[in-house]
Amino acid sequence: MGLLTALDGVYGDRADAVVVDSRALSWEELLRAAEAIAERAAGAPALAVLARPEPETVAAVVGGLLAGVPVVPLPPDSGPVERAHILRDSGATLLAGTRLPEDAEGLTALPVRLADRASGQWRPAAEDPDRTAFVLYTSGTTGAPKGALIPHRAVAADLDGLADAWQWNADDTLVHGLPLFHVHGLVLGVLGALRTGSRLVHTGRPTPAGYAAARGSLYFGVPTVWSRIAADADAARELAAARLLVSGSAPLPVPVFEQLRRLTGQAPAERYGMTETLITVATRADGERRPGAVGVPLPGVRTRLIGEDGQQLPHDGESVGDLQLQGPTLFDGYLGRPDATADSFTADGWFRTGDVAVVEPDGFHRIVGRASVDLIKSGGYRIGAGEVEAALRDHPGVVDAAVVGAPDHDLGQVVVAYVVAAGEDVTERQLTDFVAQRLSVHKRPRRVVLVDDLPRNAMGKVLKKQLLEPGR
């Protein structure tokens, strides 16, 4: 098929082309299992896939794409309410996977068996770049999750742009252990390998030992994964032979960046994206890998920063603005939500990411955070939470930190830091002074709360709204 060129035989075949949780498939075996799913899924309005980390998930996803049916990845740990919403909202009539839940009422179960084969009469759907490849559901931080419609052309443009940025090709072995229901783990981490022809090793769980044993040339991880690897010096050193270590889905703490550089001999490459846009900004394999920065736009992607007055801000490394973008990797809108789709774009056609950023004069982007929780307006100043977090993490006694803006009757908001400390000697005054010595005084935390850990989602992002709940 045109999107996944490895399955067209362009790169030949190999017995262990796709390895998921120690189970190997050749591209030919994967294609035949996927065709069996495609034959049964053809004509359905959508195919839901229970996305466990197993080769059957890969076969089911590829089968949906072969059939020309929108694929709806379903988190395997989703509760009955979330699962029911996704299945109902997506219009899926089929649910593929292994060990399917019993409460998927109204859907036809499509058990995935790797030994199954399609009949001789079946043919794949005609290629259509405008056809919806995926309905990917957002995190639902502002209500029930919305289904983002991702067309085939966006997937192809994104993977080709990343192949160019990361010099990703058929000689690589890609290793990761990320969930198979997100852009990072599924679109990049599975379809990327099937498009570039690289061998794929999914470790099942993203453990330091699993990453070290895989002997890859290209690794994907989220900051939580990289933090654990950096804390395991022996595992980290095993990655020294890799060509590129990629981090995404949340900001990589600078201390982790530096530890990885010291232990592996190379700095990790960060990138930026979201469900609706796929990956739009990335550090290039042949370029500078700058701590705290996510790189430059992919080919065809344009970005701009907009201030509170609606005017475009300069790329001067100082101005903090709302990040907006245009390009070939964007979604086609939210399923059944024309109002939400319209609200996500400006009048002149730019997508509102909801993130705030700073762009250096050389085009390098730094993501400050989400506008809703990471842009703090205090006493007339606009303060990026990410900048304060980075300063706190530079303190030798700080393991992790999250900064939020708490309501204040005088200043509007005040900077509050939640800090995971390495020992009992770290004090609030010490951390406040530490930040004030490195950043403008108005950016120092007005309050520091020492905590045992920070609440995070499956992709390692801190759930800041939980930090603002009463009693924290």
Q: What is the pLDDT of residues 167-200, one digit of tens each?
A: 999 999 999 999 999 899 999 999 999 999 999 9
The CA-CA-CA angle for residues 53, 59, 64, to 5°, reads 115
pTM for the model: 0.83
pLDDT at position 470 is 62
Of the segments 141-150, 283-292, 418-427, 462-471, which one has the largest average pLDDT value?
A: 283-292
CA-wise closest residue to 451 among 433, 426, 415 = 426
Residues of the chain within CATH 3.40.50.12780 domain(s) are 1-370
Give the pLDDT confidence of 146-158 residue by residue, as tens digits.
Answer: 999 999 999 999 9
Residue 373: in which H helix or E strand, if any? helix 371-374
Checking if the pLDDT of 440 tops 80, the result is no
Give the pLDDT confidence of 210-241 residue by residue, as tens digits.
Answer: 999 999 999 999 888 998 999 999 999 999 99
State how far Cα 178 lies from the chain centre.
9
Give the pLDDT confidence of 374-394 residue by residue, as tens digits.
Answer: 778 786 666 778 778 888 988
DSSP state letters, 213-265: HH--SEEEE-HHHHHHHHT-HHHHHHGGG-SEEEE-SSPPPHHHHHHHHHHHS
- If pLDDT is split at 50, 70 and 90, which confidence band does 116 have? very high
Interval 243-265 mean pLDDT: 91
pLDDT at position 466 is 84
Residue 151: in which H helix or E strand, if any? strand 147-151
How far is Cα 174 from Cα 289, in angstroms, rounded to an integer?
20
**Which tokens go with 175?**
């290793």
Q: How many CB atoms lie within 10 A of CB 310?
A: 8
Q: How many residues does the chain have?
A: 472
CA-wise closest residue to 18 among 185, 218, 197 = 197
How far is Cα 396 from Cα 188, in angstroms, rounded to an integer?
35
Checking if the pLDDT of 449 tops 80, the result is yes
**Helix 55-67 crosses helix 27-41 at what angle (to 10 degrees)?**
60
How far is Cα 286 from Cα 363, in angstroms, rounded to an integer?
15
Match 């783990």 to its residue by tokens.
Answer: 185
Burial letters 31-65, b for 16+ CB under 10 A, else e = bbbbbbbbbbbbebebbbbbbbbbbbbbbbbbbbb
pLDDT at position 141 is 47
pLDDT at position 181 is 92
Q: Are 282 and 288 in contact (CB under 8 A)?
A: no
Interval 282-291 mean pLDDT: 95
> CA of 471: how far to CAs of 429, 449, 465, 466, 467, in Å?
22, 12, 12, 10, 9
What percentage of the chain reaches a pLDDT higher than 90?
Answer: 68
Give the pLDDT confidence of 158-174 residue by residue, as tens digits.
Answer: 999 999 999 999 999 99
CATH class for domain 379-467? alpha beta
Residues of the chain within CATH 3.30.300.30 domain(s) are 379-467
Q: Are 446 and 459 in contact (CB under 8 A)?
A: no
3-state secondary structure of 169: coil
Interval 260-276 mean pLDDT: 96
State how far Cα 435 lies from the chain centre.
29
Give the pLDDT confidence of 44-99 residue by residue, as tens digits.
Answer: 999 999 999 999 999 999 999 999 999 999 988 777 777 888 999 999 999 999 88
How far is Cα 93 from Cα 102, in angstroms, rounded to an integer?
15
When mean pLDDT is compared across 11-15, 183-187, 299-303, 450-454, the lowest value belongs to 450-454
CATH of domain 1-370: 3.40.50.12780
Give the pLDDT confidence of 4-26 residue by residue, as tens digits.
Answer: 999 999 999 999 999 998 999 99
Match 């470790």 to its residue by tokens.
Answer: 203
- Integer-rounded Cα Rg, in Å, for the chain is 22
pLDDT at position 177 is 96
